[in-house]
Amino acid sequence: MENRKSKPFASSLFILLSLALIIVMLSFGLHCFYSYFYPMAYSSEIKSYSEKYNIESALIASVANAESGFDEKSISSKGAIGIMQLMPSTAEWLSKRLGEEYQQEKLLDGEYNLNLGAYYLSYLLEMFQDTKNALCAYNAGPNTVKEWLKNQQYSSDGKSLDEIPFAETKNYLNRVMKNYSYYSKRYS
């Protein structure tokens, strides 16, 4: 009689342990997924530049992830370099504005690149007074976004974009905002 009672208990225990193991494996798998797609690299530097330039850490991390996946050695087909994918001419201009010596080879240094990229992002946020416009300008260039804002086809009020005419910039904005929804929880 005791054998019959212990079999259901053993089966229940086996099912509970199996479920616990599955939950642990899923949790680990999700952690690996998020770690791969949303790395937390350079978090102390990002926090430092966030304070220095009065910009959200989550926004800096979101741009860095969208631009290069935090790959400091990344060089685009258009010639943008480093974590924040800065064009050398833009980086040189930013260095001068910051009163720093410009060295193109240093664009492959993560911290140097993050500093210039975070500063550029804060500059664009100040210029456009709108996060969406600033992010589009980071991708397409500030003069391009200024032209879009003047065009009734893309902006009904001249202050915000109703439509983004470049598919690349539209996709970029969507990637950054998706990243932001994750990083805003991590940098709170």
* The pair of three-digit structure tokens given for residue 47, joined into one six-digit string: 């926090």
Please say whether the beta carbons of 130 and 137 come within 8 A: no
Residue matched to tokens 């935090």: 70
Please work out, in degrees rounded to the nearest 5, the angle formed at the alpha carbon of residue 67 by the alpha carbons of 61 and 68: 90
* The pair of three-digit structure tokens given for residue 181, joined into one six-digit string: 């929804």
92 given a catalytic annotation:
no
To the nearest 10 degrees (0 to 180), the angle between helices 110-128 and 88-98 is 80
Among 84, 5, 77, 46, which Cα is nearest to 186's?
Answer: 46
Please say whether the beta carbons of 116 and 108 come within 8 A: no
The tally of CA atoms less than 13 A away on the side-chain side of residue 108 is: 7
Distance between CA 176 and CA 180 in Å, rounded? 6
Q: Which of 2, 45, 56, 67 is catalytic?
A: 67
The catalytic site residues sit at 67
